[in-house]
């Protein structure tokens, strides 16, 4: 499904990027820096955060794509349903729990963040740079979730898995390099 | 008070961007293009959408800054409270109403949008590019609202008055570009 009459049938993110090649270039460059550049958070942890936050927004496309990307990087696929149900009891590294709680709250009620929410991340041993990256990833998935659901992007499970294969191997810059040349 | 040591009480989102200009320059360029480049929406309409979305998220900083920018472009300041209360009854052009309803659902319950919501925008006379631009502005401000709130940035009315002049003169990209160039000069 797509909400755009000129693109009937199933719309993929690639179709959306093709409609806006210039924007796609800047966005994918930003994704590459945030999700693959230097960070105290591992690539797997960053993909886990992106997938989890997208799940909080009930964005099927982003949640599934990043869940499979994280799975390629060693994260248990079954973890996400447990995290979305209850972070406290989910079998995830205790250091990630205050980060995931922050992402959930920043996604659902952004204006309510407090110093105590931030301090819980520092108390788990993370530094300011890690926290900076957490905020960025959360803001970014909130962007992408709305681009995808706002345009009616919807593809099947096989395409979610294929996207996870691509993002875990060639990254966002690799996806950008495969976009059609701009006319 | 921001949650980060590199930000002080007078910090704005620009201070986050220049903290890591390599990372943020693409976003600055994207923002400039989306809010000031060619679009079926006027600059004032785009600032109105940015301020409205930020108001829905109760992001005092982005709402305050973009409402101030929109007011300078001729948008009535009192309009925002009425839009946030009820789009249907607010004194605004009818053709903007389905767009703003779309923005509201996309901000508060993004997975719930339907073809009927999009069709209402098209029926008001907007084309696909307009809907695509509105979606991108909404998504981008949902991004900025969380960058701002996630860092603990709140802003003040005095700040919003200052920043609107800065935005009018410099736009959304120049400061981050200058910071990146300064950093690159330093490292060579």
DSSP B135-175: HHHHHHHHHHHHHHHHTT----HHHHHHHHHHHHHHTTTHH
Q: What is the domain extent for residue A100?
A: 13-177
Nearest residue in B to A4, CA atom: B128
Q: Answer whether B7 touches A (CB < 8 Å).
A: no
User: Is residue A3 a part of any domain in this protein?
Assistant: no
Does residue B124 belong to the interface with chain A, where contact is any CB pair within 8 Å? Answer: no
CA distance A150 to chain B (A): 6
Sort B168 into a burial class: Cβ within 10 Å, 0-12 / 13-18 / 19+: exposed
ipTM computed for the complex: 0.96
Question: Which is nearest to B28 in space by CA: B145, B144, B130, B148?
Answer: B144
Question: Is B138 an 8 Å CB contact of chain A?
Answer: yes
Burial of B170 (0-12, 13-18, 19+ CB in 10 A): middle
In this complex, the residue of B1, B23, B135 whose CB is nearest that of residue A146 is: B135
Chain B contacts of A101, Cβ < 8 Å?
Answer: none
pLDDT tens, position by position, B9-44 = 999 999 999 999 999 999 999 999 999 999 999 999
> To the nearest whole angstrom, how far is the Cα of A13 from the nearest Cα of chain B?
13
Distance CA A135, CA A150 (A): 22
> Where residue A49 falls among pLDDT bands split at 50, 70, 90?
very high
d(CA B187, CA B136): 35
Q: Using CB atoms, pick whichever of B6, B118, B150 lies closest to residue A106.
A: B150
Of B5, B111, B146, the CB nearest to A138: B146
**Does the beta-carbon distance from B30 to A26 stay under 8 Å?**
yes
- What predicted TM-score, i.e. pTM, was given to this entire model? 0.96
Nearest to B64 by CA among B150, B182, B139, B153: B153
For chain A, how many structural domains are there in total? 1
Give the nearest chain B residue to A16 (CA atoms).
Answer: B132
Under DSSP, the state recorded for A2 is -
Report whether B51 contacts B141 (CB < 8 A): no
Say whether B26 and A26 touch across the interface (CB within 8 A).
Answer: yes
* Cα angle value A25/B56/A31 (rounded, 5°): 20
Interface test with B, best of A10, A150, A152, A182 (most B CBs within 10 A): A150
- Look up the CATH number of the domain holding residue A103: 1.20.1290.10
**A103: chain B residues, CB-CB within 8 Å:** none
Please judge whether A143 and B150 are an interchain contact, meaning their C-beta atoms are less than 8 angstroms apart.
Answer: no
A113/B132 CB distance under 8 A: no
Chain B residues near residue A58 by CB distance under 8 angstroms: 110-111
The pairs formed by B96-101 with CB atoms below 8 angstroms and a separation of 24 or more are B96/B45, B96/B48, B96/B124, B97/B124, B98/B123, B98/B124, B99/B49, B99/B124, B99/B126, B99/B130, B99/B131, B99/B134, B100/B49, B100/B52
Distance, in Å, from the CA atom of B52 to the CA atom of B144, rounded to the nearest integer, reads 13
Averaged pLDDT for residues A87-114:
98
Band (pLDDT 50/70/90 cuts) for residue B182 is very high
Does the pLDDT value for residue A182 go beyond 70? no
Burial class (CB in 10 A: 0-12, 13-18, 19+), A112: exposed
Residue A94, C-beta contacts closer than 8 angstroms, at least 6 positions apart: A124
- CB contact under 8 Å between B142 and A22, yes or no, is no
Total residues found in chain B within this entry: 188
In a domain, A36, yes or no: yes
The answer to whether residues B83 and B109 touch, using CB atoms and an 8 Å cutoff, is: no
Whether residue A87 contacts residue A101, with contact meaning beta carbons closer than 8 Å, is answered with: yes
Domain B38-170 top-level CATH class: mainly alpha
Chain B nearest C-alpha distance from A73 (Å): 23
CA distance A91 to chain B (A): 26
Indicate whether A124 belongs to any domain.
yes
Cα–Cα distance, B181 to B21 (Å, whole number):
9
What value does the mean pLDDT take over residues B94-103?
98
pLDDT-derived band at A183, boundaries 50, 70, 90: very low
Query: If 0-12 CB within 10 Å is exposed, 13-18 middle and 19+ buried, where does residue B136 land?
Result: buried
Per-residue pLDDT, A9: 67
Other beta carbons within 10 angstroms of residue B158's beta carbon come to 9
Averaged pLDDT for residues A167-176: 94
Inform me whether the C-beta atom of residue B123 falls under 8 Å from chain A C-beta atoms. Answer: no
Residue at A104 is within a domain:
yes
Question: What's the gap in Å between the CA of A115 and the closest CA on chain B?
Answer: 6
CB-CB under 8 Å, A140 with B144: no
Nearest to B59 among A4, A26, A110 (CB): A110
Is the separation of the CB atoms in B80 and B111 below 8 Å?
A: no
**B185 pLDDT higher than 70:** yes
- Two tokens at A79? 């973890």
Instruction: Verify whether the Cβ–Cβ distance A149 to B111 is below 8 Å.
Output: yes
Q: Say if A24 falls within a structural domain.
A: yes
Could you read off the pLDDT of B54-94 as tens digits, one per residue? 999 999 999 999 999 999 999 999 999 999 999 999 999 99
């Amino acid at each position: 499904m797509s909400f755009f009459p000129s693109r009937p049938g199933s719309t993929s993110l690639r179709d959306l990027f093709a409609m806006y090649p210039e924007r796609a270039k800047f966005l994918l460059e930003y994704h590459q820096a945030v999700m693959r550049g230097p960070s105290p958070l591992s690539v797997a942890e960053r993909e886990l955060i992106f997938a989890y936050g997208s799940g909080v927004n009930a964005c099927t496309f982003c949640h599934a794509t990043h869940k499979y990307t994280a799975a390629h990087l060693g994260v248990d696929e079954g973890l996400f349903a447990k995290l979305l149900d209850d972070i406290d009891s989910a079998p995830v590294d205790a250091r990630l729990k205050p980060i995931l709680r922050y992402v959930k709250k920043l996604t659902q009620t952004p204006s309510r963040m407090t110093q105590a929410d931030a301090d819980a991340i520092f108390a788990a041993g993370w530094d300011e740079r890690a926290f900076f990256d957490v905020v960025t990833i959360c803001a970014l998935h909130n962007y992408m979730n709305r681009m995808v659901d706002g345009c009616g992007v919807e593809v099947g499970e096989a395409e979610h898995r294929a996207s996870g294969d691509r993002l875990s191997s060639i990254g966002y810059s690799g996806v950008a390099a495969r976009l059609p040349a701009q006319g | 008070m921001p949650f980060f040591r590199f930000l002080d009480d007078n910090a704005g989102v620009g201070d986050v961007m220049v903290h890591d200009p390599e990372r943020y320059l693409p976003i600055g360029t994207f923002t400039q293009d989306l809010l000031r480049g060619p679009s079926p929406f006027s600059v004032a309409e785009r600032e109105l959408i940015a301020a409205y979305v930020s108001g829905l998220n109760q992001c005092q900083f982005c709402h305050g800054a973009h409402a101030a920018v929109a007011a300078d472009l001729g948008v009535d300041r009192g309009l925002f409270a009425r839009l946030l209360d009820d789009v249907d009854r607010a004194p605004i052009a009818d053709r903007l109403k389905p767009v703003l309803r779309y923005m509201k659902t996309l901000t508060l319950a993004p997975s719930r949008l339907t073809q009927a919501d999009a069709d209402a925008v098209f029926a008001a006379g907007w084309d696909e590019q307009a809907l695509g631009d509105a979606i991108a502005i909404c998504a981008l401000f949902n991004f900025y609202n969380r960058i701002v709130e996630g860092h603990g940035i709140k802003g003040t009315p005095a700040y919003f008055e200052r920043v609107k002049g800065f935005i009018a003169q410099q736009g959304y990209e120049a400061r981050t570009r200058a910071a990146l160039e300064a950093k690159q000069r330093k490292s060579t």
